[in-house]
Structure 1
């Protein structure tokens, strides 16, 4: 399992509010991506969240648990998020969207709130998204990412991590082939970049591209 991650600050803020991290050990891959909102402290919150999830999952997510399947992994992620929440907001402010993905033994388990997304990358570079963004523009949960990108209401997220609200992630499960390629992204990637720009960055992740308003962050994973 190999991965590449990159985060580029957008024009709208003085600091990057995105954060991403990953750990691969044996047959288990853990991938975390977070997107802080415009509320004060949200960028720092995203960074602390990623660090906290990576550290906690390495303690709780064993090889035996991963082999047990989606239900066992979901229990671990629920526990990690519930225990991390009061620790985070004891010292942090703001709010954020997040997505946590666990890849193990041909299975992908996703936990997310907000508009961070995960997709399967085809050999052509096109992306089939497997998560539905939690935003006002997608209240019926029937619109594609490209359709949502054109609707200003996509910026009003309907679920996120914040103080005073217990984490309530949506879970998605996906079977994977041995040659699968995945991408974990913030909405700056899927909504503000064109399909052609997305494909170009997956082909050459360190290349230059026209900076957009939002921060753009992604993790490219090859099994």
Structure 2
């Protein structure tokens, strides 16, 4: 599946480096799109985010083509994530990151995530319909909207993330797949740090009138083919 991709990212001022990153791999059988957001408060987190996505794309490319239904692919990705948790913890012992994986097949879609990178669908009106939960203490019941979460500073306290200091606990969700869908993978700098109008401007232009004074801001836009 050949989709139209657009990656927009703008560094914030909390860290000297932009700790948001993205990757994708589009073999014939399935397409994999990934973003990660390295923690701004733990050293080496940007490097961890990049290393995790590199592991996921590389190991995904080595999977056998036979019998790749959504359940099997999801399980294979969970094993890759678990393996990455083991191999990367010695290289980045203090680091942490949120990540989000979207896998699109011919007739199915699923996502895997830990942390506060969120998945959405952009409707024809331009409204973003957020699908996945933010794994933060504020949203421990999973019943708050993204707009509600964005208003509270306590949203930065995560209940799940990719870190050597805690067990990996990915959430898997399966989604209906239709032609010509507009998917959005976004870091919390985008969905929580920008107003709806600023989100629309950033999606359109890829930058803001002034540099963000908080977190890095990033989103990966994916438009699937009409048929």
TM-score by length of 2: 0.91
CA distance in 2, matches of 1:62, 1:166: 30
- Give the equivalent residue in structure 2 for 1:55: 58
Distance (Å, rounded) in 1 between the aligned partners of 2:159 and 2:167: 14
CA–CA separation in structure 2 for the residues paired with 1:186 and 1:179 = 23
Residues 106 and 178, structure 1, Cα contact 8 Å, conserved in 2 = no
Residues 150-165 of structure 1 correspond to what in structure 2 (within 5 A)?
150-165=151-166
Report the Cα offset of residue 4 of structure 1.
1.1
| Aligned residue-pair number | 219
Matches of 2:207 and 2:6, distance apart in 1: 13
State the SS of the aligned residue for 2:55.
helix
What residue number does 2:37 align with? 35
CA distance in 1, matches of 2:64, 2:131: 23
Structure 1 residue runs of 4 or more that deviate by more than 4 Å after TM superposition = none
Partner of 1:90: 90
SS at match of 2:192: helix
Partner residue of 1:10?
12
Q: Say whether the 8 Å CA contact 1:101–1:111 is kept in structure 2.
A: yes
Secondary structure of the residue aligned to 1:161 is coil
| Gap runs ≥5 in structure 1 | none
1:174-209 residue CA offsets vs partner (Å, 9 max, x unmatched): 0121110100011001000111111222233x3444
Contact preservation (8 Å) 1:8, 1:16 = yes
Report deviation, 1:14: 1.1
Structure 2 matches for 1:104-123, cutoff 5 A? Answer: 104-123=105-124
Q: Residue 127 in 1 paired to residue 131 in 2?
A: no
- For 1:42 and 1:159, how far apart are their aligned partners in 2? 15
Question: Which residues of structure 2 form unaligned runs of 5+?
Answer: none
* Per-residue deviation, 1:150: 0.3
CA displacement, residues 122-162 of structure 1 (integer Å, 9 cap, x when unaligned): 11221101101010111121111011000111011111111
What value does the CA root-mean-square deviation take over the aligned residues?
A: 1.5
